[in-house]
Amino acid sequence: NRRGTVRDIARAKEHGDRWPMLTAYDALTARVFDDAGIPVLLVGDSAAMVVYGYDSTVPVTVDDLLPLTAAVVRSTRRALVVADLPFGSYQASTEQALASAARFMKEAGAQAVKLEGGHRVVPQVEALVAAGVPVMGHLGLTPQSVNTLGGYRVQGRGEAGARLLAEAKELEHAGAFSIVLECVPADLAAEVTGHLSVPTIGIGAGPGTDAQVLVWQDMAGLSPHVAKFVKTYADLTESLTRAARSYAEEVVAGTFPDEEHSYA
């Protein structure tokens, strides 16, 4: 019943075991995923969209994400909880990255952080790892850079593939314990996975990575629009809509609350 650690993640790759990751942002769903046996939960900066209603991850701040991270840590017992460092909280310097990561660990209890980018964040990854902070990398479609990428599109096609592989190796060498590969061709993701001794975590990266991640609201059918790579395993929009409509109808009709749901 102990919490998972980065050593468990390393061992999974040695054994060739695949594993799932989901995002989580609040107590009750984090508890459900923990009890369902999801070994790693990411408090993603995707909270910008699915919690805070922004249309990209750029606006969300450390102060926005800290309470969500704390809630996920408090309500889980087994999952390794990874906190996303949001845009602007680590790019400026190694000192800034350390200060931001320390807040997620001290104030929220996160066990690891994730940050986006390759070559340009190697100093940050090295400094964090040296300070005892496990770091998850993130390559391919890095949503915090949507304004330089020019939209949400597949990355690493053609010649860009070799650069992505080189940056993955740089992140591994810098000490990252795992690397998310988002929206890259399946053959490239498989090639990167074969070249690394740390696990790759795919999202829109085909079946050849060591692990997979999805935003839980996408996976459960709550997000109104999802990318081609998303598979939905439930239809929460439909069931919540039905529940809200039934509740509303019964209140209007005066059939709820009834005797069963009232105190004598």
Binding site: residue ranges?
Answer: 45-46, 84, 114, 116
Which pairs from 13-18 meet CB under 8 Å and 24+ separation?
13/197, 13/198, 13/199, 13/210, 18/210, 18/211, 18/212
Nearer of residues 25 and 105 to ligand KIV, judged by Cβ: 25
The single residue among 174, 180, 190, 196 that binds ligand KIV, judged by CB under 6 A, is 180
Query: Does 178 contact ligand KIV by CB under 6 A?
Result: no
Instruction: For residue 44, state whether it binds Na ion (rule: CB under 5 A).
Output: yes
CA distances from 41 to 32, 140, 215, 224 (A): 11, 20, 10, 22
Between 208 and 256, whose beta carbon lies closer to ligand KIV? 208
CB of 216 to ligand KIV, least distance (A): 9
Interaction of residue 204 with Na ion, rule CB under 5 A: no
Which of 70, 82, 84, 213 is the binder for Na ion (CB under 5 A)? Answer: 84
Q: Which range in 42-50, 153-161, 192-200, 243-251 contacts ligand KIV by CB under 6 A? A: 42-50
167 interacts with Na ion by CB under 5 A: no
Q: Can residue 135 be called a binding residue for ligand KIV (CB under 6 A)? A: no
What are the residues whose beta carbons fall under 8 Å from the beta carbon of 79, sequence distance 6 or more? 3, 4, 24, 30, 33, 34, 38, 39, 40, 41
Least separation in angstroms between residue 114's CB and Na ion is 7
Determine contact, residues 145/136, Cβ cutoff 8 Å. Answer: no
Could you say which of Na ion, ligand KIV, none residue 180 binds, taking C-beta under 5 to 8 angstroms by partner kind? ligand KIV
- Contact pick of 9, 34, 46, 97 for ligand KIV (by CB under 6 A): 46
**Residue 173 to residues 6, 130, 131, 218: CA-CA distances in angstroms?**
16, 13, 16, 33
CB 45 within 8 A of CB 144: yes
- Residues 71, 164, 215, 220: which binds ligand KIV (CB under 6 A)? 215
Cis peptide leading into 143, omega within 30 of 0?
no
Question: Does the annotation mark 182 as catalytic?
Answer: yes
**What residues contact residue 10 under an 8 Å CB cut-off, 6+ apart?**
177, 198, 199
Separation of alpha carbons 210 and 200, rounded Å: 5
Among the options 167, 182, 249, 250, which is catalytic? 182
Which residues line the annotated binding site for 3-methyl-2-oxobutanoate? 45-46, 84, 114
Which residues here bind ligand KIV, judged by CB under 6 A? 23, 42, 44-46, 84, 180, 203, 213, 215
